[in-house]
A = this chain, B = another copy of it.
Amino acid sequence: MTEPDRRTGPSVRAIPEGDNRERMICAECGYILYDNPKIVVGSVVRWGDKVLLCRRSIEPRRGFWTLPAGYLELNESTSAGARREAWEEARATIEIEGLLAIYDIPRLSQVQLVYRARLVDPAVEPGPESLEVGLFGWDEIPWDDIAFPSVRWALHHEREAQATGDLAARIGLPPGLPPGPAAPQGL
């Protein structure tokens, strides 16, 4: 199809009848956009005592390392979304074990759900959104080249869960870690 005119669409802020919050409305056709927070699903994937990381081939944070993660699609369960992202970004087949953490990023209207997972087969390779992928022991993790703060949070939370055996889902960042700049997009 032809390139749409992106200046149109819901661009007027007003409270629709019967509502109590401002919504974005299209001045041309009257369409009301009920915008909602977005869900990012991802996983900390273990193979023995190593974890899977992907070096991003796309912006934002091209060249930096991240967990396999991305936006949940319509009609997709959160665990299916986490498995899909692991496949898309690292050709990894994973088995979900439980929920590691919820990271709320209200500034971006984003909720990140990070699962704990096990790699079924260590033969991983970069998908189209990755420059390279790899399995890293704790001391091999490229800490200076991590893409987003929540990647660091999740790695610390997973290590803590392993060390303590406490598998309750973490909410918010680990104690002692700086929040850092909020992730610009996704994990």
Closest residue on chain B to residue A35 by CB atoms: B74
State the number of copies, please: 2
Q: Is the CB of B109 within 8 A of A71?
A: no
* Contact of A102 (CB < 8 Å), options: B6, B37, B99: B99
A104 an interface residue at 8 Å Cβ cutoff? yes
Q: Is the CB of B74 within 8 A of A109?
A: yes
Q: Is the CB of B1 within 8 A of A73?
A: no
A16 an interface residue at 8 Å Cβ cutoff? yes
Q: How far is the CA of A104 from the CA of B39 in the complex (A)?
A: 12
Q: How far is the CA of A77 from the CA of B76 in the complex (A)?
A: 22
A25 an interface residue at 8 Å Cβ cutoff? yes
With A28-B28, A99-B102, A106-B75 known to touch, is A39 a contact of B111 (CB < 8 Å)? Answer: yes
Closest residue on chain B to residue A166 by CB atoms: B167
A sample of 9 more A-B contacts (CB under 8 A), given A4-B31, A37-B76, is: A1-B17, A6-B30, A26-B29, A75-B107, A75-B109, A77-B106, A78-B111, A79-B104, A80-B104
